Amino acid sequence: MKLFKEISLSLLLLLSIQSLAQKIEIGAGVGAMNYKGDISPDLHPSFARLGANVSFRYNLSKMITFKSSILVGSIYGDDSQVSDSFNQLRGQTFKTNINELSLTTEYNFFDYRYNRYHKDWTPYVFGGLGVMKFSPRDTPVSDYKTLQLVIPFGVGIKYNISGPWNLNLEFGTRKAFTDYLDNLGGDDPTLPKNLQNDYSRSDMYYYTSLSLTYQFLKIYCPK
């Protein structure tokens, strides 16, 4: 009887692990990071810099997915390439490296799952919370905190290539809680005018990516 119980518990544990594994998806991708703030009041494609990401998904259902991801890259801006006369007069440039860890929830508009009879796809939206560490290229203008919370949100499209392999095209915005991503500004009136920021323009950054993911699937062999 004891042996039977042990075997039964082992089988249940194995089945649970297999069921859990089928909900797991891992992936990696590359893309472009961009910035909007004092030095770039609008999005400038020429300011885009390379970014890369790795992700871990838990597919709770065909509609809901939880994702943890790591993003590394940099953002850049140059006053001389902006049409605003104040920006051109100020003449500042910056480059900031960013490392980000985020947890998001995705909502698929269509039932998204692998089906061996057709290739599945769905648009989706996502939102969540993250933390990012940024490091400016130049000496910081003041003693500001470089470890900050961010709110990531955006849209994307998932497409099943074949079997467990999927492509994700995604555009995401990061709402930052600091105005120093471009190493400008603050509340210090003693700073030179060319190092002070415009408080009406809060800093944000964006990430557009193409990722390849692999979902662990249980393959049924025909008898």
CA distance 219 to 212: 20
Distance CA 55, CA 214 (A): 10
Q: What pLDDT, in 10s, does the model give residues 119-142?
A: 689 999 999 999 999 999 998 888
Q: Report the C-alpha gap between 51 and 74 in whole angstroms.
A: 7
Highest average pLDDT, of 61-65, 153-157, 199-203, comes from 153-157
- Residue-averaged pLDDT of the chain: 83
- Nearest Cα neighbor of 126 from 90, 173, 84 is 173
**By C-alpha distance, which of 117, 145, 219, 210 is closest to 172?**
210
The string of pLDDT tens digits covering residues 19-69 is: 445 689 999 999 999 999 888 888 889 999 999 999 999 999 888 999 999
Spatial neighbors of 200 by CB under 8 A, at least 6 apart, are none
Which sequence spans correspond to the domains of the chain? Answer: 22-215
CATH class of residue range 22-215:
mainly beta
Nearest 10 degrees: Cα torsion 61, 155, 131, 22: 20
CB 98 within 8 A of CB 71: yes
Task: Report the pLDDT averaged over residues 201-211.
Answer: 91
- The stretch 3-20 carries a mean pLDDT of 44
